Amino acid sequence: MSVGYVTVQWTRSKRVYDFVIAGGVLAYLAVFFAIGKLTWGGQQAISDEILLIRALATCAITLLHIVLCIGPLARLSPRFLPLLYNRRHLGVTTFLVAALHGLVVLGYYHGFGRVNPLVSLFTNDIDFLVAGSLPFQILGVAALVILAVLAATSHDFWLKNLSARTWKSIHMSVYACYALVIAHVAFGALQSERSTIYPILLAVGVTTVTALHCAAGLKERRIDSRSSPAIAWVDLGDCREIPDGRAKSVRVAGQPRIAVFRSGDCISVVRGVCAHQGGPLAEGRIIDGCITCPWHGWQYRPADGQSPPPFQEKIVTYQLHNHIGRVMLDPAPLPPGTHVEPARIGSPSDVN
């Protein structure tokens, strides 16, 4: 939480995650290189530079697919949530691998002439345009620029100061980047490729990303359609079924997700969206008396939605009352940080 910025809020799981990413990338490049040497030998031998270009390109595109699949997978099943916690590092790695691919291409295909390599790249592609085909290298450069902006703005400083909304809109451009990458591959590498394996792999990737997003969207629509209309008081159901220190998620039409937390006999209700990066608070736990976000561990007091001092973040709370032993919720959000006396489970009369 924002008492001071650090480069990375390291935790043990983050170290493991980063170790797996770095190890995975290096192993992939080594295996691709080794297989490439075996496959393209003899008459069909290709230079080490071209092999490296291909290895980096396929690695970057695989990472991009993983990045895009993590979001919907986590929405479909909480088992994938740990993958989401450190997705930013995966995104930055994707950019670094893609940038390396771009640099090797620039050096190998454009670096040996008398013209500036960047000028050569752009003029080459404009010649392509005249010839009636798509300027696939410029598409790749555009995708790389988007990845650069996403990587450069991944720190919490940007999230806070650009506002969550602007930050999110900037980061949604990853889908434009994906479209550009697919076009870059389709109009570039696939044009000269005789093997069918690359188009098949690309089609499998695009289908997987699309199908997962559709499935996650359908699941959320189903949940939304079951939500109660935003009228008067909403019955929160039997809150005794919520395990102690845990929460359940409730939908009220026209409202973002609401998290109903139980701490002993007390029920508190807050907006289920973390002030940090919109993490799902209802999937978090109460640790040391505070609601703890499952993504990066930001904490909020259940009764007033405020982060414990010295932190200053606040989330929306909701008015509650007991009605014949049932906990009822007023769906009108209170200003972030408003104290609301918790409702007690089983208490027979009105509390608030």
Partner 1 sequence: MALFILSVLGGYLAVGVVFGLAFVTRGIARVDSVAHGASVAVRALLLPGSVLLWPILIRMWISALRKSRIERQPSL
Closest CB 250 distance from partner 1, rounded Å: 33
Site for partner 1 in 118-177 (CB under 8 A): 118-119, 122-123, 126, 148-149, 151-153, 155, 157-158, 160-162
In this complex, which beta carbon is closest to ligand FES, that of residue 52 or of residue 90?
A: 90
**Residues β-bridged to residue 258:** 250, 271
| Residue 295 touches which of partner 1, ligand FES, none (Cβ within 5-8 Å per kind) | ligand FES
Closest CB 94 distance from partner 1, rounded Å: 15
Write 230-234 long-range contacts (CB < 8 A, 24+).
230/254, 230/255, 230/331, 231/331, 232/330, 233/321, 233/323, 233/328, 233/329, 233/330, 234/328, 234/329, 234/330, 234/331
| Residue 3 touches which of partner 1, ligand FES, none (Cβ within 5-8 Å per kind) | partner 1
Closest CB 313 distance from ligand FES, rounded Å: 9
Closest CB 126 distance from partner 1, rounded Å: 6
| Residue 203 touches which of partner 1, ligand FES, none (Cβ within 5-8 Å per kind) | none
Closest CB 139 distance from partner 1, rounded Å: 15
Residue type, 191: Q
Sheet arrangement for strand 290-292: 285-287, 290-292, 299-300
| Residue 128 touches which of ligand FES, partner 1, none (Cβ within 5-8 Å per kind) | none
Residues in contact with partner 1, shown as a per-residue x/- string from 91 to 120 under the rule CB under 8 A = -------------------------x-xx-
Site for ligand FES in 241-280 (CB under 6 A): 274, 276-277, 279
* Count of positions on this chain that bind partner 1 (CB under 8 A): 23
Residue 333 host element (H or E): strand 326-333
Contact 120, 113 (CB under 8 A): yes
Residues with Cβ < 8 Å from 270, sequence gap 6 or more?
Answer: 258, 259, 261, 281, 291, 300, 302, 305, 315, 316, 317, 318
3-state helix, strand, coil in the chain (%, to 5): 55, 15, 30
Closest CB 145 distance from partner 1, rounded Å: 9
Neighbours of 197 (CB within 10 A): 8
In this complex, which beta carbon is closest to partner 1, that of residue 298 or of residue 318?
A: 298
- In terms of Cβ atoms closer than 10 Å to its own Cβ (0-12, 13-18, 19+), residue 83 is middle
Q: Is 31 in the site for partner 1 (CB under 8 A)?
A: no
Q: How far apart are CA 1 and CA 277, in angstroms?
A: 11
Residues in contact with ligand FES, shown as a per-residue x/- string from 291 to 320 under the rule CB under 6 A = --x-xxxx----------------------
In this complex, which beta carbon is closest to ligand FES, that of residue 155 or of residue 323?
A: 155
Closest CB 280 distance from ligand FES, rounded Å: 8
| Residue 122 touches which of partner 1, ligand FES, none (Cβ within 5-8 Å per kind) | partner 1
In this complex, which beta carbon is closest to ligand FES, that of residue 154 or of residue 322?
A: 154
Contact 272, 257 (CB under 8 A): yes
Q: Which of 6, 197, 232, 324 binds partner 1 (CB under 8 A)?
A: 6
- In terms of Cβ atoms closer than 10 Å to its own Cβ (0-12, 13-18, 19+), residue 331 is buried
In this complex, which beta carbon is closest to ligand FES, that of residue 136 or of residue 295?
A: 295
- In terms of Cβ atoms closer than 10 Å to its own Cβ (0-12, 13-18, 19+), residue 61 is buried
Sign of CA dihedral 186, 190, 195, 198: negative
- Interface with partner 1 by CB under 8 A: which residues? 2-7, 116, 118-119, 122-123, 126, 148-149, 151-153, 155, 157-158, 160-162
- Interface with ligand FES by CB under 6 A: which residues? 274, 276-277, 279, 293, 295-298
